[in-house]
């Protein structure tokens, strides 16, 4: 009887149990796992000599700890104060005009012409 041929180039990975050619490479799954290791944490970044902070509202980068410069975040943090606006007497919406807004029903109640705050007649 002939002895069984054994190819010594074929190896078996002790971790994954996969057979591979040991002369050409190593276990494919071990190489994949080595690439997927988490990256080390980065050092704190500097931006124009100032420390970067995380915006508490949107999570973006900012030079201020209160919030970033986006309008929505700036309003919430108090960076941008809201302009004092008037209230429409008819619908209650905010308006820059003293009494009524420019919606058609409100202009009709106010008796104004067109989109302008000008009395008709």
> The whole model's pTM is what?
0.32
CB-based burial of residue 47 (10 Å sphere; 0-12 exposed, 13-18 middle, 19+ buried)?
Answer: exposed
Domain match, 56 and 32 both: no
- The parent domain of residue 115 ranges over 84-121
Domain match, 103 and 71 both: no
In a domain? residue 1:
no
User: How many Å apart are CA 86 and CA 103, to the nearest integer?
Assistant: 14
Domain match, 101 and 120 both: yes
In a domain? residue 2:
no
In a domain? residue 13:
yes
Domain match, 66 and 88 both: no
User: How many Å apart are CA 45 and CA 104, to the nearest integer?
Assistant: 53
Q: What is the pLDDT of residues 62-79, one digit of tens each?
A: 888 888 888 888 888 877
In a domain? residue 59:
yes
How many structural domains compose the chain? 3
Q: What is the pLDDT of residues 26-68, one digit of tens each?
A: 888 888 777 766 655 655 555 555 667 888 888 888 888 888 8
- The structure tokens 């003293």 sit at 98
């Amino acid at each position: 009887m002939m002895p069984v041929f054994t190819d010594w180039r074929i190896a078996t990975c002790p971790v994954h149990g996969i057979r591979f050619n040991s002369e050409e490479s190593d276990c494919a799954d071990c190489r994949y796992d080595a690439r997927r290791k988490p990256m080390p944490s980065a050092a704190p970044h500097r931006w124009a000599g100032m420390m970067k902070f995380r915006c508490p509202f949107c999570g973006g980068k900012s030079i201020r700890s209160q919030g970033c410069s986006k309008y929505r975040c700036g309003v919430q943090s108090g960076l941008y104060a809201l302009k004092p606006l008037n209230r429409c007497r008819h619908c209650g919406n905010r308006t820059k005009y003293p009494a009524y807004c420019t919606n058609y029903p409100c202009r009709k109640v106010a008796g104004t012409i067109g989109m302008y705050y000008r009395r008709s007649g």
